[in-house]
Structures are given as C-alpha cells and as structure tokens.
Amino acid sequence: MIDWHWPWAFFLLPLPLLFFWILPKVKQQEAALKVPSLALWQTSTQSAQIHTQRTWPSLILPAVLWLALLTALARPHILGDIVEMPTSGRDLMLAVDISGSMAIEDMKWQDRPVNRLFTVKKVLNDFVSQRQGDRLGLVLFGSQAYLQAPLTFDWQTIQTLMNEAQIGLAGKKTAIGDAIGLTIKRLQSHPEQSRVVILLTDGANTAGEVEPLKAAELAQQSNVKIYTVGLGADAMEVASFFGSREVNPSRDLDETTLQKMADMTGGHYFRARDSKELEKIYDMIDQLEPTEKDPEIFRPQINIYYWPLSIALFISFLIALQALGLFRYLTSIIRKAK
C-alpha cells in the first residue's frame, strides 16, 4: 500500500499553466526582413513550420518531468504490515556498581578466578536476554552515577553497553544514594505499577550527595520497588610474606542498609557470594509478574521517493539532449543563410 507524506504537493500540478495564463503575453512586433533570395525564404519558412509542428510533442517531456518532481516531493512510501509491540512487561532499571572494589578477584567462572564485574557481566547478559517484553535501562555508578542507557526494548544494546563498562570509569568510590536517585528520575514518567530497580553493589555508600536511605524513602514515595544485591565472597585466600592467609573481601559491604532499602520499597535483599548464587538471584527476580500495558503498534515504512526522482533526472537528461539537437539544427540553418 502506497501512502504519501505530503500529498498537498500535487496541488502545484497546474502551476506551469497558470504562468502561461496569468503572465501578460509579449506582443510580437513585425520587423523588416531582407531576404537576398527566394530559396532562403522558403528554407526559413519550412524550418518555422517544422518548429511549429514540434511544439506540442516537445511539451510532453517537460510535463512528465514536472509530474515526476511533484511525485517525489509528495514523499511516497510503502506501508508494511502492522507489528504489535510487547503488551506486557516492566520498566526495569539496572544500577550496577563499577567502583574500584569490583576489581577484587574473589569470584570464579569456569573454575578460574575472575573479578566481580566480570561475573556480573556474564550473569547479567543472560538475565537481560530473558527479559524480552520489558523496558530496560542501565545506570553505572562509582563516585558518580551516570545514565548509560535510558529505558528501551532494545535489550541487545543494554548487553553491549554493560560489556563495555570498565572498573573505575565512574570513579573509585561508591555513590549508592545518587544511583537510586537517578533511577527514580528516569522512572517517574512511567506507570507506577511497573517501576522496578535492581541495585548491585559490593560495598557501602562512600560518595555522592544523597544518602541511600533517603533515596529509598524517595523511591517509596514514587512507588519504585528496589531489589538490592550484595556481591562478594565471605572468605578469600591471599598471599603474604608469611604465607597465605584467609581474609573477608566483603567486610565493607553494608548489608544492613541494603536490607532496609529493599524493605522500605517492598523489594528484597539478596546476597551473592559466587556466580552460582548470583544466577539464582536473577532467576528469582526473573519471576516477577509482568504488568499489563496498553498495546503499542508499529508499522514499518519504505520510502520510494527516489524512483520518481530518478525518472525526473532521466527526463532532464533527455530534454538537455533535445535542446542540444535543436541548437545544432538552428546553428546549421544560420550557417546556410550566410
């Protein structure tokens, strides 16, 4: 089915005729013409008759050219089949800690030690791919919080941006409160029944202008549900001068505050000590009941204005050749007259 962006362009179709009708006609004045011989007069008369016979056929190409230009100006396009967008889902913001402590290698992936952010990327990619139908957004935070991706159905882009995140890109400290505040700001214009935030961190709030509990209070007032995930192992062996010793790499994790934030907003707090626990946590969050939304439809369109534009260009080329041929014809007559 062909549709038009600017169909009013066809109202310009009679414009060339209006120029002929409205503009005053130039009166032709007779002038004395000296003809040295009768043969030359006959030749000139014949050429004039030929030119008169050519007048109407020569108007066909300019008329088609004008029609093709107006057709291209009207911007024709072909409408595709209606595509129905997902009718259910949640508006889910992911707030991921990329502070300096995320570089601690207390996780394992395929039996090899990896840092915390590497594990988050691997598990989060699987989680995001299973949330088709949800609008997902991504906030990365360290000393500051940054919106990496606004809410979108394009979960592949969320995966790409998450994979490109680097430790320390937002600073070495942890601004949990600012990250929550930024997610609330991005969710305020969306339905209240579907506002969800998943906050993943391995430490305590050490930067930012907003306290985490104050941010949770604002989330509660905005009907935003927060799921908090505390990341990091409880025990880790490190090498020292006197041999290896066991330390707690998660001693800075503020579980009390994370628990309160989740309870205040109707969410849950989860503890992920390794990659398997993190996978289970995301599986549990993945079971959230979707919220029904008004159906959204999308109808793709293919622009085809370049077809009449190509025809107009071709006709312009023909008219140029025709004009060149007429010019040569008149030139040959003048030469014969001399």
Determine whether domain 88-292 maps to CATH 3.30.1330.10.
no
Residue 138 has pLDDT above 90, yes or no: yes
State the Cα torsion 278-282-285-290 to the nearest 10°. 170
Query: Per-residue pLDDT tens for 75-132?
Result: 888 887 776 665 556 788 999 999 988 988 878 787 788 888 988 888 888 888 888 7
The b-or-e profile of 44-77 (16+ CB within 10 A means b, else e) is: eeeeeeeeeeeeeeeeeeeebbbbbbbbbbbebb
- Across the chain, mean pLDDT equals 79
Q: Is 45 helix (H, G, I), strand (E, B) or coil?
A: helix
Query: Per-residue pLDDT tens for 16-26?
Result: 887 777 765 54
Q: Which residue has the higher pLDDT, 241 or 291?
A: 241
Q: Which two tokens stand for residue 51?
A: 């030119």
Residue 322 to residue 333: CA distance in whole angstroms:
17
- Tell me what pLDDT residue 265 has: 92
Q: Which residue has the higher pLDDT, 250 or 77?
A: 77
Q: Are the CB atoms for 154 and 110 separated by under 8 Å?
A: no
Consecutive H or E run containing 94: strand 91-97
- Tell me what pLDDT residue 328 has: 67
Confidence of residue 293 (pLDDT cuts 50, 70, 90): low
> For 63-67, 121-125, 132-136, which range has the lowest pLDDT when averaged over its residues?
132-136
| pLDDT (average), residues 53-78 | 79
Q: Are the CB atoms for 90 and 290 separated by under 8 Å?
A: yes
Give the angle subtended at the CA of 225 by the CAs of 222 and 227, to the nearest 5°.
145
Query: Per-residue pLDDT tens for 156-176?
Result: 999 999 999 999 888 889 999
Consecutive H or E run containing 70: helix 60-73
User: Domain boundaries in the chain?
Assistant: 54-81+304-338, 88-292
